[in-house]
A and B are shown apart, each in its own frame.
Chain A
Amino acid sequence: MSTTNHIGKPTSRVDGPAKVTGAARYSAEYNVPGLTYGWVVSSPIAKGKITRVHADEVLALPGVLQVFSHENVPSLAWFDRSYKDDVAPGGSPFRPLHDNEVKFSQQPVALVVAESLEVARYAASLLRLEYEEDKHETDLETKRDEGFEPGRGKTGWMPPPPPRGNPDKAWEEAPHRMEAEYVHGAQHHNPMELFATTAEYHADGKITAYDKTQGVYNVQQYLTKIFGLKKDDCRVVNEYMGGGFGAGLRPQYQVFLAVLAALELKRSVRVTLTRQQMFSFGHRPHTLQYLKLGTNADGTLAALQHHALHETSQFEDYTENVVNWSGMLYQCDNVKLGYQLAKLDVYTPLDMRAPGAATGSIGLEIAMDEMAYAAGLDPLEFRLRNYAEQDQNLKKPFSSKKLRDCYHQGAARFGWEKRTQAPRSMRDDAGKLIGWGIGGGVWDATQQKSAAKASITADGHLTVSSAAGENGTGTYTIMTQIAAETLGLPIEAVTFKLGDTDLPEAPVQGGSWTAASVGTAVKNTCEALGEKLLKLAQKMEGSPLKGAKLEDVEFVNGQIRLRTDASQAVVLRDVLQASGETKVEADSSAMPDMLKQQPYSMHSHNVVFAEVKVDEELGTVHVTRVVNAVAAGHILNLKTARSQVLGSMVWGISAALMEETVMDHKFGRYMNHNYAEYHVPVNADIHDLDVLFVEEEDDIVNPLGVKGIGEVGLLGVAAAIANAVYHATGKRVRDLPIMIDKLL
């Protein structure tokens, strides 16, 4: 009986106690000696030129150290490539304080640094800048005819596959057809923790940047290239994060400004953005989608066309995979997918949880519902009739795909068979309309190159490290579980460290790939350490393991023992003590097994069943029940994985019913840029959420068989709710969020 099988168990967060006791430090909480404070001044205009900076007025205030603006920024790196981070899209990255050009509203135009936060904030409020305003354009609606196909994308972006079959003719001839446009506005990530950097300036000129980021190495390479620092002179640390959702994928301007000021002033500087400024550095883009579906008499899809247009900035071509999923989620031989961008005077959009797929699944899944009704089919039955047995985009089989089980198990859990098809046909006891809707999606299962280090001390305590990120997703916990199980240790005997460029390199935390990527590196590294420990064990006098190979033994319950005879064992701690070593270390890394993976399409899937109750007279909607059935390979930790999906579902409810950043195009400025007016759900909006993980074995994706669950849970939630609203009311709302006014 093993007590050290941790993988799959609902282990509580190992970082939980540090978080609830305040011991966990976030980037704005490193109180280094001699700290000074920077306050960012943001542009009130969306486009134009700064003609004057009245810095002198502010510099006269006691306690003000410097006002940084384009007028006094030192000469920095010249070429665009120096400003490009790992996640940068094509184009020319924004350079804070680079010149007098204003390219978007709330652009940082100055940094006031003072001895205290209060003085910095006050001085910033007094700083006068003069502008020469240019005409801006921020409305995507005006750019409908100016879309262009991006020729350059960021890493991971794929242009839509070429058309297959004869999608126009097939649609024209289909007995049942639908076509419609779907819209959602911009959304901002809005993690609770504000973006902040504490740039510690060391006496020898080195910098340690405690920065809110999802990728410390990404920030380090950005800083070293721009400021001409050596890697050894620029350490980036982020041990905890109060939510990221993609906002921390790219280095944000507070880290640039804090490090700039620290180097110039030779002082430690902290820059924390305001909540309003959290709306100034990237968002899920305002997107228009057009779908045309046709269905044969037997309920199979005859044609599928999906076109998307979304905003980007004037200086970068932000890309995400919006339409590609529509070519692979359902079986269809006549498919045409289109994808275009339009340039506006806004900041570059930024990956936000399930970028592209969250958007695409809204269009596709509402269209599928409309199509099911047009064809007279139950929306679940319609999906089952169009189940894709292979990835038609890549013409490859799936490494695993248990979506059918998701449909069946989710429907059973939800009670879908009790649904009556006609809109407005279900009511509760109080007379409110009830609606049941379905949606779902597909997301990539990928693995990135990652490295790790493991070290075990004589007392048997294992420390494993990798510069991974922890958005609050559970990275600390699952890596601890993997390490502890690999070497047969209790959870308490393992410490996992992350978020520090002094540790082995890991990719940015995004794409739902951390479990697969860093997890495999941790596993490999612990196995490498295990091999060393076995050799040491074999050197012990009378060792029962003499002659055994690594594959002959197992690490269980603090012992190394023969697989064939558990009584032939040595205690790990005895091995370490007998060895005389104070510690034993190993390094390793992990890469995807391209040869093994090449023949397959690797994806996670989900399906969502949602119930709404609608007070028709008043236009109010409540999401009373949601079941989310997820097939995402092996689940490493049922508790943290469930939390990930619960968070996704809350966000899906948000996207469906309330979340939208609204711009006043007269000013080219987001107007509801605060937590009071940018609405996300409160507890009272959230009712019964049920997560169901469908068993899915997959030894192709990676040795752990994991696909990642950070994003897939969000897919189809908003569409399922919109479809439920239709079922309840007979009203088809195609522009989200569905607020009161759209149901009156």
Chain B
Amino acid sequence: MNPFTYHRATAVDDAVRDKAGHSNAAYIGGGTNLIDLMKENVERPTHLVSVGKLPLAAIENLPDGGLRLGATATNADTAWNDEVKSRYPLLNQAILAGASPQLRNMATNGGNLLQRTRCYYFYDLATPCNKREPGSGCSAIGGYNRIHAILGTSEACIATHPSDMCVALAALAPTVRVSGPGGERSIAFEEFHRLPGDQPEKDNTLEPGELIVSLDLPAKSFEKNFSYLKLRDRSSYAFALISVAAALELEGNTITDARLALGGVAHKPWRDQEAENMLKGQPATAETFARVAAKVLENAQGQGSNNFKIELARRAIVRALRQAAEGSQTASDVFLNSNP
């Protein structure tokens, strides 16, 4: 870990100004990922701008019927917020599927979007990694890539985005409000994260110095028919091999609206709108779900040790859609999905 200076920002413009005034500066929220990365020397900022105490922790109703999640509200406070639990139970379930209670108590909503991949090679300075050191090569391609991506990969990078929360967000489609040197703007969630292409060092579309201030959820919340299904190597404190956020609106057994997003499969939370459109107007049956799953995965490509993910994702999509149709999942204070 390198020496760094530290400033605790008191207001958004103070944070933005302070970061702009330092070269090689980073915002720090809960620090649950950045501190690890600094200890591993993956990131070496020389100045930290703490945004954890900015007045952005509120979770409040929006005039359009949506819900604003403050960027510095913790993941735990967000998951257990009454409005989230009653109106966005999919988000509640996805957050509680991630990390551990201790981490969720520290991690912020803004930070959750900005967590970096858990690719082994990204974390280990002894190995080349294009995301860490552009141009050095991708060790995961042809290496041990059991946890890596099957969709939207490039020759430069096959890393995945590790978040659970973001998979539910991809399905719920909020806008991400950001503030930066150039003022405020909003980014559609789907546009926020990016695929690796030939610039895997860039995880998202934030401009330099921009700070997330809130996530604005639309009114539509799929509170009745949803499922967050996470498959992993142990029942807690493990990143998803595959996760699926499925949300449906039904009239009788006919699907009138649908959302479908996957985690653990790509460089970004993977929402498939074509698949969603395929679901609309169809009966909520195993045949429909299987057809849609096949569509989601038609361009999936295994890398060797992660070949199994294609079949696992197919089955997980079918299961999650079925659970959503059944309306069997509800919000909770504990995550029960993994219990036998």
Q: Which of B121, B231, B315, B338 contacts A684 (CB 8 A)?
A: B338
C-alpha spacing A674/B120, complex, angstroms: 10
> B127 to chain A: which residues have CB within 8 Å?
44, 664, 667, 669, 671
Q: Is the CB of B235 within 8 A of A618?
A: no
Of A118-126, A188-196, A256-264, A327-335, the stretch lying at the interface with chain B is A118-126
A125-B41, A676-B118, A744-B311 are contacts. A667–B139 as well, Cβ < 8 Å? Answer: yes
Within the complex, the shortest CB–CB distance from B127 to chain A, in Å, comes to 6
- What string of 1s and 0s marks CB contacts (under 8 Å) between A598-613 and chain B? 0000000000000001
Q: Is the CB of A740 within 8 A of B308?
A: yes
Q: Is the CB of B120 within 8 A of A679?
A: no
Q: Does B143 sit at the interface, judged by CB under 8 A?
A: yes
Q: How many residues of A contact B (CB 8 A)?
A: 42
Within 8 A of B (CB), among A631-682: 657-658, 662-664, 666-667, 669, 671-674, 676-677, 679-682
A125-B41, A618-B319, A667-B139 are contacts. A684–B144 as well, Cβ < 8 Å? Answer: no
> B231 to chain A: which residues have CB within 8 Å?
618-620, 740
A658-B233, A679-B238, A684-B236 are contacts. A664–B139 as well, Cβ < 8 Å? Answer: yes
Q: Which of B3, B142, B239, B312 contacts A740 (CB 8 A)?
A: B312
Q: Is the CB of B126 within 8 A of A44?
A: yes
Within the complex, the shortest CB–CB distance from B86 to chain A, in Å, comes to 26
Q: Does B6 sit at the interface, judged by CB under 8 A?
A: no
Q: Does A152 sit at the interface, judged by CB under 8 A?
A: no
Q: Is the CB of B120 within 8 A of A741?
A: no
Q: Which of A122, A619, A679 contacts B2 (CB 8 A)?
A: A122
Among the interface residues A125, A622, A741, which one has the most CB atoms of the partner chain B within 10 A? A741
C-alpha spacing A196/B1, complex, angstroms: 19
Q: Does B241 sit at the interface, judged by CB under 8 A?
A: yes
A669-B126, A679-B238, A744-B312 are contacts. A613–B121 as well, Cβ < 8 Å? Answer: no
Q: Does A427 sit at the interface, judged by CB under 8 A?
A: no
Q: How many residues of B contact A (CB 8 A)?
A: 37
> B3 to chain A: which residues have CB within 8 Å?
118, 122
Within the complex, the shortest CB–CB distance from B200 to chain A, in Å, comes to 18
A739-B233, A740-B233 are contacts. A684–B339 as well, Cβ < 8 Å? Answer: yes
Q: Is the CB of B123 within 8 A of A617?
A: no
C-alpha spacing A662/B124, complex, angstroms: 14
A44-B125, A618-B316, A740-B312 are contacts. A125–B233 as well, Cβ < 8 Å? Answer: no
> B316 to chain A: which residues have CB within 8 Å?
618
- In the complex, residue of chain B having the shortest beta-carbon distance to the beta carbon of A685: B235
Q: Does A49 sit at the interface, judged by CB under 8 A?
A: no
Among the interface residues B126, B143, B236, B237, which one has the most CB atoms of the partner chain A within 10 A? B126
A622-B340, A684-B235, A740-B233 are contacts. A674–B123 as well, Cβ < 8 Å? Answer: yes
| Interface of B, helix, strand, loop or mixed by DSSP | loop
Q: Is the CB of A432 within 8 A of B236?
A: no
Q: Does A624 sit at the interface, judged by CB under 8 A?
A: yes
Q: Is the CB of A744 within 8 A of B308?
A: yes
Q: Does A319 sit at the interface, judged by CB under 8 A?
A: no
Q: Is the CB of B123 within 8 A of A613?
A: no
Q: Which of A617, A671, A673, A739 contacts B315 (CB 8 A)?
A: A617
> A122 to chain B: which residues have CB within 8 Å?
1-3
Q: Which of A622, A673, A679 contacts B233 (CB 8 A)?
A: A679
- What string of 1s and 0s marks CB contacts (under 8 Å) between A441-463 and chain B? 00000000000000000000000
A118-B1, A125-B41, A685-B235 are contacts. A740–B120 as well, Cβ < 8 Å? Answer: no
C-alpha spacing A741/B236, complex, angstroms: 18
Q: Is the CB of B235 within 8 A of A671?
A: no
C-alpha spacing A613/B319, complex, angstroms: 18
Q: Does A466 sit at the interface, judged by CB under 8 A?
A: no
A105-B126, A619-B312 are contacts. A685–B144 as well, Cβ < 8 Å? Answer: no
C-alpha spacing A679/B1, complex, angstroms: 26
Q: Which of A105, A671, A672, A741 contacts B312 (CB 8 A)?
A: A741
Q: Which of B1, B143, B340 contacts A125 (CB 8 A)?
A: B1
Among the interface residues B3, B311, B340, which one has the most CB atoms of the partner chain A within 10 A? B340
Q: Is the CB of A664 within 8 A of B144?
A: yes
C-alpha spacing A619/B125, complex, angstroms: 34
- What string of 1s and 0s marks CB contacts (under 8 Å) between A682-698 and chain B? 11110100000000000
C-alpha spacing A671/B241, complex, angstroms: 17
> A680 to chain B: which residues have CB within 8 Å?
234
- In the complex, residue of chain A having the shortest beta-carbon distance to the beta carbon of B309: A741
C-alpha spacing A225/B22, complex, angstroms: 54
C-alpha spacing A680/B127, complex, angstroms: 25
> A672 to chain B: which residues have CB within 8 Å?
120, 144
Within the complex, the shortest CB–CB distance from A396 to chain B, in Å, comes to 43
> B311 to chain A: which residues have CB within 8 Å?
744
C-alpha spacing A394/B311, complex, angstroms: 51
> A674 to chain B: which residues have CB within 8 Å?
123
- What string of 1s and 0s marks CB contacts (under 8 Å) between B132-155 and chain A? 000000010011101100000000
C-alpha spacing A739/B232, complex, angstroms: 9
> A44 to chain B: which residues have CB within 8 Å?
125-127
- In the complex, residue of chain B having the shortest beta-carbon distance to the beta carbon of A105: B126
Within the complex, the shortest CB–CB distance from B324 to chain A, in Å, comes to 16
Within 8 A of B (CB), among A269-296: 276
- What string of 1s and 0s marks CB contacts (under 8 Å) between B305-340 and chain A? 000100110011011000000000000000000111
Q: Is the CB of B235 within 8 A of A666?
A: no
Q: Which 6 A-B pairs have the closest CB atoms?
A: A44-B126, A622-B340, A684-B235, A741-B308, A671-B120, A613-B340
**CB pairs A–B below 8 angstroms (11 shown):** A44-B125, A122-B3, A622-B340, A663-B144, A664-B120, A672-B120, A672-B144, A673-B124, A682-B235, A739-B233, A744-B308
Q: B: which residues have CB within 8 A of A? A: 1-3, 41, 118, 120-121, 123-127, 139, 142-144, 146-147, 231, 233-239, 241, 308, 311-312, 315-316, 318-319, 338-340
Q: Given contacts A671-B127, A677-B118, A684-B234, list 9 more A-B pairs with CB under 8 A.
A: A44-B126, A122-B2, A613-B340, A663-B144, A664-B144, A667-B139, A740-B233, A741-B146, A744-B308
